[in-house]
């Protein structure tokens, strides 16, 4: 797969997470977050800017979440949300370099795409989260789905 090197600017995201083998916990975590997200859409002064997943391989942690406008989620607002959705957490991704791979098509292709990436991309930064950004998530034809697969690069 071809890639381009990009720099992601600071962003915050809300998420649910679970430790364990990604293949074993992903479906559960996705379901939890999707349920919370439906209710978050009704919250005043809260807006997401896109869905994502983040994961680490060592230790294995899987997160399902949504980006929010940077510094828009005050601690007071977050605490209010946490009371309603006790599994909800907030994370920050600081300005970082990534290799961006573009996957077009259905989500069943994700596992194979990541396998190809991990096989070829040996100098990734395993201490950081790998990201999946769902660029086009709702499409009538699954061939129109677009997901960015982001591999963190060590700062040198």
pLDDT digits (tens, 9 = 90+) for 38-87: 888 888 777 888 999 999 988 899 999 999 876 778 888 888 888 888 89
**How high is the pLDDT of residue 125?**
64
Contacts of 70 (CB under 8 A, 6+ apart): 9, 10, 11, 12
Contacts of 129 (CB under 8 A, 6+ apart): 54, 55, 56, 61, 63, 93, 152
In angstroms, the CA 95 to CA 100 distance is 15
pLDDT band at 18 (very low <50, low <70, confident <90, very high): very high
Indicate whether 5 pLDDT > 70: yes
In angstroms, the CA 143 to CA 107 distance is 10
**How high is the pLDDT of residue 143?**
85
pLDDT digits (tens, 9 = 90+) for 19-34: 999 889 999 999 999 9
- Torsion sign, CA atoms 34, 57, 14, 89: positive
In angstroms, the CA 97 to CA 70 distance is 18
**CATH class belonging to 4-152:** alpha beta
**How high is the pLDDT of residue 108?**
86
pLDDT digits (tens, 9 = 90+) for 91-141: 988 899 999 999 999 888 888 998 888 888 666 666 789 999 999 887 888
């Amino acid at each position: 797969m071809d890639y381009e090197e990009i720099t992601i600017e600071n962003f915050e995201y809300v998420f649910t997470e679970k430790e364990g083998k990604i293949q074993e916990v992903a479906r559960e975590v996705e379901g939890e977050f999707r349920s919370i997200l439906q209710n978050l859409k009704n919250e005043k002064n809260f807006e997401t800017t896109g869905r994502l997943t983040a994961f680490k391989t060592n230790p294995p942690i899987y997160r399902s979440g949504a980006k929010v406008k940077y510094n828009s989620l005050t601690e007071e607002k977050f605490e209010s949300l946490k009371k309603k959705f006790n599994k909800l957490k907030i994370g920050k991704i600081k300005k970082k370099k990534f290799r961006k791979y573009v996957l077009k098509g259905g989500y069943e292709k994700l596992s194979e795409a990541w396998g190809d990436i991990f096989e070829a991309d040996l100098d990734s930064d395993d201490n950081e989260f790998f990201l999946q950004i769902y660029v086009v998530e709702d499409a009538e034809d699954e061939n129109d789905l677009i997901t960015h697969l982001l591999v963190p690069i060590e700062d040198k």
